[in-house]
Structure 1
């Protein structure tokens, strides 16, 4: 059988190196996407690396300045010594073609990588010595292809402090140009954005609370606001949204979640929507708002008990097809760890999940908001405001998270303490107790607290919020009004 040679374009490699040695400005046309590993001929790759190193230092890289370095390193020994430089200069057609040479080299490298991935997939599919099943192999193959499509073959490693400072300056510039000092993605909550600067890439945020506190409603509010901000930014620049918001709803169906968002935006009670107890005018408003929201870059996955590996695969697909800007998980205790893992305890299992969610945030460079349940020990305290120790199966939740937030509504607990006439020996005492209860209820009515208990990159504290139970809607709480 004839064996085909892997794709390579040696002529383009030599022509590019000749162009670089003739005029170092040609490096600017390829430096943003081409690295030494992309060259099929290792010698050409090492020559490119040496040239790039000198240019990056601000030094001249030509046959004269490079000759001593090549003679000392012995890089050119296998190709005839420094006379190879003359061959490179002879192969150069014109420096204006440097960009085309670079793209041809990069394209050949991509095709060689695809062949290698294909061979690995075939070999893994034939043999099952490592115990991985077909579904897991699909995920591994997708991950490899995604990495090839996104990182251009540049492995992680050290960056200079100068590069790190450049990145920090870009973030500061973004915050300076945006209104409200928000450098990250907006949450739609003014006071939260002021305290955190918005939702930042690579951050894992834990939003926890007891049942009926409104965790899902608050997370949905943030996801919706972020999607709307992405849509408006795209409309202002006359383009498609640069990314989508992904909600993994393990507890509620996609229809229930959509109904909740529609209820909030159309200001029609979700309970009345389910019962069909709405008039023609309200239904028309409901339909009109649904049409407006239909184009939002919001994706919902309601797979129950989704595994960490499946979530990563779906995030990878979404990033490749529509872009990815935010991930919301409701909620992490309902997730399963990666396929093939069997943790010894529930605490270890949750620890693996939180570590995996943090890894997703870093891999895709997006903020991840994960909802979490709290233990029942909250209910046994007089002050039922949550603390970090209340995180259920906490393990490494607190450790892995960049921010931990608790949603708390005093109104919920106070409502349960409504006085009963049977507990009082006279109507006067009962009436007095009811009036005192009503006074306290008035103070906390429609009020909620977002307790920012941990924030790795900023201050902590309590953020007051407005909560409208009829529409399960959170918003900013304005305690002062202009006359």
Structure 2
């Protein structure tokens, strides 16, 4: 038994991978795991059998596996049945990395031993070692086909790729909506309306037929749902505590209508606390697989309370790794990832309290990894004499593929609702 670290053996890693695949069949084809990454013939045979069943469109379970091979080839009926006890889909990616890293190390040792025995040239050794980083995916590196497609662009009407709408016209004009593969950081001090803005984005994405996935690390599911109902129904949140006694018949009718509207949005909420990025990725992957006909958009509340993978790192290192992982997740799922972030207290010490990039708490690599960084600011929070009543500034401080600047939305704090500024006062 090969020991990977103090707590995990390679045998258990491989059992967990196979058990997770039995539990969630889509992992068989959606991951980069191959038969050669398993160290035993039994595990390779089990995986190959799973792949054969998956390629023919059949479900993979205890019965179909044992019906496809002689039980002894799979380690026996009890061995196959026991695999599900090791399933851990939230750590699947981590365990897959361990298995592939072990395969690369073993293969490297074999290459070096063969090179020494056969007196290979340095160039041959380097070529073989470089091939280890190739997971088998075919990568098209030539730009010839792309240039052919680009040749006619000056002579054809331009078609701008629209992303998932933000629900705010002025913000959509600047960003073209939330774009696939991009990480959007939305940062603000407390009481600026971060969660309400996230809810607004999720509701509008859902109403347009997309799949909003909310990872709520701070707020419980029930509280978040109440806020969604209040925003859609324009219901004062004070009435949400005891709607039976505090709401009029007219308000109760709004409540029912709001629930009907929310029911069409297909919003998904995972409110487990202290999640890691691999857990968030596993949760999102499962939901995306369950809704293959909908474009996903992932919302996370909020960045600083995502749990890091290495407790020995300091907070800046942890946040830097998390921001990089979130960007990779956006690229992997080819969907927007919108993540809330806290700002440090330095904002409060300045006369102009509009946030700037350096105000992001534990910034790490956030400024580098994010495609868009936006700040929220409400002038009336700091000044009772402010003329900007019920207004929320959304300050685009970084926009990798577009302009920066400020847009203003109407914000009704009592209901948590955001509206276009030109008609917000009427609502």
Q: Secondary structure of the residue that 1:211 maps to in structure 2?
A: coil
Matches within 5 A, 1:53-202: 107=56, 134=86, 139-140=91-92, 155=137, 157-164=139-146, 183-202=162-181
Q: Is 1:461 the equivalent of 2:405?
A: yes
Alignment partner of 1:375 is 2:319: no
Superposition deviation, residue 268 in structure 1: 1.2
1:251 and 2:184 matched: no
> Aligned pair in 2 of structure 1 residues 463, 302: CA closer, same or farther (>3 Å)?
same
Q: 1:136 to 1:449 in 2, by over 3 A?
A: same
Flag structure 1 segments of 5+ consecutive residues without an equivalent: 1-37, 39-102, 127-132, 145-152, 231-242, 416-436
The two structures have a TM-score, normalised by structure 1, of 0.58
- What is the CA distance between 1:469 and its match in structure 2? 1.4
- Quote the Cα distance in structure 2 between the aligned partners of 1:170 and 1:408: 44
Describe the SS at the equivalent of 1:300: strand
Distance in structure 2 (CA, Å) of the matches to 1:292 and 1:251: 25
Report the 3-state secondary structure (helix = DSSP H, G, I; strand = E; otherwise coil) of the residue aligned with 1:316: helix
Query: Per-residue CA shift, 1:164-209, capped at 9, x if unaligned?
Result: 468989999xx966xxx66111111111110011111100010000
Deviations, residues 33-57 of structure 1 (Å, cap 9, x unaligned): xxxxx9xxxxxxxxxxxxxxxxxxx
Q: 1:273 aligns with which of 240, 252, 264?
A: 240
- Displaced runs of 4 or more, over 4 A: 103-108, 133-138, 141-144, 162-172
Residues 275, 184 of structure 1: CA spacing in aligned structure 2 closer, same or farther, 3 A cutoff?
Answer: same
Structural mapping, 1:216-235, within 5 Å: 216-230=195-209
Q: Given the superposition, is the C-alpha separation of residues 164 and 450 from structure 1 closer, same or farther in structure 2, using an over 3 Å criterion?
A: farther
Contact 2:90–2:282 under 8 Å retained in 1: no
Change in 2 beyond 3 A, CA 1:165/1:411: farther
Structure possessing the higher radius of gyration over alpha carbons: 1
Count of residue pairs the alignment pairs up: 314
Contact 1:202–1:358 (8 Å) recurs in 2: yes
Give the distance between the partners of 2:383 and 2:257, measured in 1 at CA.
38
Separation in 2 of the partners of 1:138 and 1:411?
Answer: 43
Give the SS at the match of 2:196. helix
Q: Tell me how far 1:307 sits from its aligned partner.
A: 1.2
Stretches of structure 2 that go unaligned for 5 or more consecutive residues are 1-33, 35-51, 69-73, 97-134
Q: Is the 1:143–1:316 Cα contact (8 Å) retained in structure 2?
A: no
TM-score normalised over the length of structure 2: 0.66
The residue that corresponds to 1:6 in the other structure is none
Residue-by-residue CA offset, 1:269-323 (whole Å, 9 max, x unaligned): 1111213311122112211321232132210111111111111111111111113
